[in-house]
Every structure is written in C-alpha cells, then in structure tokens.
Amino acid sequence: MKAVVLLFFIAIISTISAQQPTAGDLIWSADPSPPPLAFSFFNIPPPVGAEKTKDTCTDAEKTAKTQFCNFLAADEPDACKINKAILCDAVPTEKVCDATKFEVCKLNAGLATCVAEPTCNKKVTPANCPDAANVGKVVCDDSGSDPCLKKNLVVCKAPALEDPVSCAGMDPSKPYCVVPAAGGDATCEAAGPTHTACTVASKFNCKQEGILPDALDCTTYYKCIADTANPGTFKVSNERKCRPGYAFDPALPADTPCRFTNNDARFCVKSNCGKTFGLQILSYLYLKADQGQVGVLCLGSEKNIPYVFRCGPGTTLVRSPTNPLDADCVLTCRSEYQKAPDNKSKKSYYVCYRSNGVLVPFKETCNEGETFDAQNLKCV
C-alpha cells in the first residue's frame, strides 16, 4: 500500500515538472484565448490623471497601433509637460520631444507629433527667439502674456537665451521695451508699445489696483491702475485676453495669469451676475485659502457690469457697511502685528493690535514716497 501511494505522488510531481517553462519558453501559449487569470498588469489602462507611457499600452491599442501623447490634455493642465509621443505597437516606442526647441506633443488626426511651443521656455519666451534667423537680435522679454508690460531687453543667443536686461535699470526715464514698427532690434523707450491688446476697456469697473478677471468671461482680464486725475478712484489701463485653450487663474503669477485648460469647464470660473445679486466669492480650483480671495459684487446697475475685488492673503472680502457699491478686504487677526495690504491703496496697509485684550485690525499709511510691499509686508 505504501509503495502505491509513493508511486502516485511521484507521478504527480513528474507531471507538474513537465509543465514548467524552461529557458526560451513563453509563459502563455499562442492560443488567443488565455486562461481567465492570465493577464498582464501592463494591459490595465492608467488611471485618469496618470502619465501614460509605452508600458501602459493595452493589447487593443497595440493591435490598432494607436498613438498617444504622454498625458491626455484634460488630465495635465500644464501643456509643457505633455512632451512625449508614444506609438503602441507590437514593441511600443516612445519619442521625447526636444526641450531645447521648446517642443510639446500634440495629437493631430490621431498622430502624436512634437511641435514647437515657445511659451514653454520658462526663463524668457520671446516668440521669435527660437527662429534661427533671429539669433543675436535684441527682442523684448515676453515671459508674460501682456505686451504692455514688456520692460526687459533679451538677446536671442543659441542654444539658450541671455538673461533679461531691465530697461528701467539702464534708464529710469525709459522703462518700456519696444520693437520698432519697421522691425529691427528692440529698444528702451519712455512710452509703452501700441498694441491692440492694450486698448482701454470701457466695460469693466475698476475698484482697486492690480490684475482682475472679467466676471463674465474667464478668458479675459484687466490691469487696473490709480486714476491720477480723480484721486481715490481707479481705471482700466488695458484689457488682456488669454490664448485659446487657456483661462484666467489668480493662483498664478500676475505676469502670467493664464492656465492651460484645454477648454475644460472646471477651470472657467465666472459669476452668475444677472441671475443673482449681492456679493459672490469665486471658487478657483488652484487658489488656496491662504492666497486670498476673488469676489464679485453683482448690483444689476451700470449696464449690469459687476464690480470685481481681489483680496490678499489673510484677508476676507466683505461688503462695505457704508457704501453699497463697494466691498472691503478685512484683515482676519490671528496674531499681534500681523499685516496685510490694503486692496484700495498701495500706500496703506492693515496691522493687528490688541485693544482691550482683543486683536483688532487698524489701517496705517506708509511714509511719503513709500508704498506697501505685499510680498515682504513692509513699506519700501
């Protein structure tokens, strides 16, 4: 009996050993219908928002020889990170776009192609610098999207660009970089360039200085400045428009406030003035609580043009108790001597002091000739 059992186990072990693959064998046979559990983790599509690589190509994509960029446009807001062209084939391949030429991957009729995108040069982005014909020429620093704020000279120098040179630093009386209408090298001038994007807008009410969004159009924003002819008031110096596929985002720097959205409605933030009235706080996906607030005062008057306000860190937007057409950024005191800028004037600021044991914000004014530096929280 023991001999029979021993022979039985030897037979089983011999059968299993014969089925084990040896060097050069395939794990799965050529049978197109593998066992139910025979799958590869590499055949599982990447989750939404994950970067696609050649290793994530599914069997179906390999069969169809599908082409991809490493991010679906809706998953990666930063277009400059979409920089790999992927071909799903029997042996998937991947091409990395040339960063020295500021290339990004774009899909066109199902083909993944690397194309030049000069704005991806994070140092400076004069649109004509990557053109070999302009090497050595002087252009304006176009690192921002506003042609009215070009204030630096840049020499196009292959393969990189020279550091910008401040016009105001060379001659305070000529702070603007201007490219002559007839062409040639850019020069520093006393007046800014004439450009269609710099026309004064009449459909926006400025209630403070700074960069403010259009409450009804997420692709338009304005630069508001103090109206010296009417002290205490503000006016639009120019209207600006984001490029197609981009929208205004206050979480970005003031000189480059347009975020790549690929027309995703989640990033297009607008007020619903006309349907409701009063003060509305706009909710931006990337604007953190400690970065301040953007709000809209919908009045239904003055041709239904809403008032837009922007508050700095540590402040909250509230409707003015004394002026129904105004709103104020109120400092929320959390510690003594805490400071915050005044959204209505660069010459004043708020600071928290103790009054009868309670922290209370007080408004103070900088010395003559000084303005409040919102970054460093002091008068300079």
Which alpha helices (DSSP H) does the chain contain, by range? 2-19, 59-64, 167-170
At 142 the pLDDT is 54
Cβ partners under 8 Å of residue 249, min gap 6: 257, 258, 259, 267, 284, 286, 287
Instruction: Between 23 and 148, name the one with better pLDDT.
Output: 148
CA distances from residue 50 to 62, 76, 225, 261, 314 in whole angstroms, order as listed: 19, 9, 42, 17, 34
- pLDDT tens digits for 202-256? 467 888 888 999 988 899 899 888 888 888 888 888 888 888 889 999 999 888 8
pLDDT class for 79, splitting at 50, 70, 90?
Answer: confident
Are residues 216 and 263 located together in one domain of the fold?
Answer: yes
Are residues 99 and 183 located together in one domain of the fold?
Answer: no
Are residues 70 and 90 located together in one domain of the fold?
Answer: yes
On whether the CB atoms of residues 278 and 319 are closer than 8 A, the answer is yes
Has residue 86 been placed in a domain? yes
Average of per-residue pLDDT across 327-345? 87
Has residue 21 been placed in a domain? no
* pLDDT-wise least confident of 115-119, 261-265, 365-369: 115-119
At 157 the pLDDT is 62
Instruction: Between 260 and 150, name the one with better pLDDT.
Output: 260
Are residues 365 and 379 located together in one domain of the fold?
Answer: yes
Are residues 299 and 315 located together in one domain of the fold?
Answer: yes
Say how many domains are in the chain: 4
Has residue 107 been placed in a domain? yes
Cβ partners under 8 Å of residue 215, min gap 6: 270, 271, 273, 282, 296, 306, 308
Are residues 212 and 313 located together in one domain of the fold?
Answer: yes
3 state SS of 206:
coil
Are residues 150 and 167 located together in one domain of the fold?
Answer: yes
Are residues 219 and 262 located together in one domain of the fold?
Answer: yes
Give the dihedral sign, CA 364/368/370/376. negative
Has residue 30 been placed in a domain? no
Has residue 36 been placed in a domain? no
Are residues 185 and 148 located together in one domain of the fold?
Answer: yes
Has residue 346 been placed in a domain? yes
Average per-residue pLDDT for the chain: 74
Domain range for 61: 50-120
Q: Which of 93, 120, 147 is the last residue of a domain?
A: 120
3 state SS of 11:
helix
On whether the CB atoms of residues 123 and 80 are closer than 8 A, the answer is no
Has residue 33 been placed in a domain? no
The pTM is what? Answer: 0.46
Are residues 344 and 301 located together in one domain of the fold?
Answer: no
Please count the CA atoms within 13 angstroms of the CA of 276 that sit on its side-chain side.
9
* pLDDT-wise least confident of 169-183, 228-242, 271-285, 288-302: 169-183
Instruction: Between 92 and 343, name the one with better pLDDT.
Output: 92
* pLDDT-wise least confident of 92-106, 128-142, 251-265, 311-325: 128-142
Has residue 297 been placed in a domain? yes
Judge whether residue 191 has pLDDT over 80.
no
Q: Which of 180, 195, 210 is the last residue of a domain?
A: 195
pLDDT class for 21, splitting at 50, 70, 90?
Answer: very low
How many percent of the chain have pLDDT more than 70?
Answer: 67
Angle at 125 (CA atoms; ends 120, 126), nearest 5 degrees = 140
Are residues 252 and 316 located together in one domain of the fold?
Answer: yes
Average of per-residue pLDDT across 346-362? 90
Are residues 145 and 166 located together in one domain of the fold?
Answer: yes
